[in-house]
Amino acid sequence: MTTLQEFADQARSFLSTHVPARPVAAKRVWGEGSDEVVSVGSNEHDDPRSRERVIEFRRLLFDNGYGWISGPTEYGGMGLTPHHEEVFADVLAEFDVPDQGLFQVSRGMVSPAILEHGNDDLKKRFLSGIHRGDIICSQLLSEPEAGSDLAGLRTTAVRDGDEWVVNGQKVWSSYAHIAHFGQLLARTDPSVPKHQGLTMFMLPLNTPGVEIRPLKQMNGHSEFNEVFFNDVRVPHANRVGEPGMGWRAILTTLMNERHVVANRGGSTTVSPTERVFELARQRGLTTDPIVRSRLTEVYLYDEIIRMLRLRQEAAVAAGHDLGPEGSITKLLYTTQLRRIGKLAGEILGPAMTADSGEWGTYAWSGFLTGAPGLRIAGGTDEIQRNTISERALGLPKEPSPK
């Protein structure tokens, strides 16, 4: 087996023949390029031409062995370690590549559930396609009346021969309007306790009876959707795990989702931390004692989150499952976004809310209005606190409503 350095050199050599290098200084030049400060979501993938460029690059990676580096070789993976994945991500950041956020749900959340709980047929049909970019997935989990109680869902699936008939509604389904399949969690046995009567399915989103309505958010984006099911038929062969075992499968998704959410953005985008530090420099506030104190706090929490991520990655590389540490990292990350947004607002004042055309000012409003979406994704902040208190600290469970 090659060393991590040899692997990095090989990956760098491959990428250099297909995509241009990313200028190191480009993201640090104030006033040049886009001044968007990304927190969550984008309308970029709604453009079919832009989406096709992203998919073509994903196919290029997969067809040359870099699409699923830690995945099993029988499904198109390299069979290497999560450490190799991290090394490749660092190398990838050196190049000007299309944004890969379109595949976060598919690769980071749906794929782990299929790999751990799906049968051989399901794995063969989905895993390679997901990591090659041929299959884009959305999550059909949250419901309007269930709130943070995912197991309280009301969407039903009733067995009818080799099919299940689905009726109900889901909401906050990222990219459902452009996805091929939805990771559906439905109630298949209402006679047992709520966590035991659930089943997960891979539902083709072009199935008759599926209606998808994009939701316009306050930041102007519409990657979230509400999805309605009216006598929708899904094959029995598309279930992930046995009927009634959906809660086990969804836990795998949720543990990975919290890790993915806390690692959003990545090194290929300008980080909010970089941008707020530069904002303070441009405004001549780096000597102000209050601003310096706030910047120090932002920097320290960035380092804490980085070290927690490294610990998680080391645990996964050692063969351990993701545990409550994912909730800790995710909660710290969403809190950090609020901290950065508040500091930017204090520095800019009215310039954040009125578009004067000045570079690097009004763009922060998109960050501020987009960040709350991550407080919901992967489980609300309140759910993360319950997970930490009960699973990590061993405190008593929160009383269930009667």
Q: Active-site positions?
A: 257
In terms of C-beta density within 10 A (0-12 exposed, 13-18 middle, 19 or more buried), how is residue 127 classed?
Answer: buried
Token code pair at residue 351: 């310039």
User: First-to-last CA distance in the chain?
Assistant: 57
Q: In whole angstroms, what is the distance from residue 286 CA to residue 292 CA?
A: 6
Q: Is 402 helix (H, G, I), strand (E, B) or coil?
A: coil
Identity at 71, one-letter amino acid code? G
* 261 touches 305 (CB < 8 A): no
Q: In whole angstroms, what is the distance from residue 254 CA to residue 380 CA?
A: 11
Q: How far is CA 174 from CA 21, 73, 170, 351, 380, in A?
A: 30, 29, 11, 31, 16
Q: In whole angstroms, what is the distance from residue 267 CA to residue 153 CA?
A: 36
Short-list 371, 353, 363, CA closest to 275 = 363
Residue 310: phi and psi, rounded to 5, are -60, -40
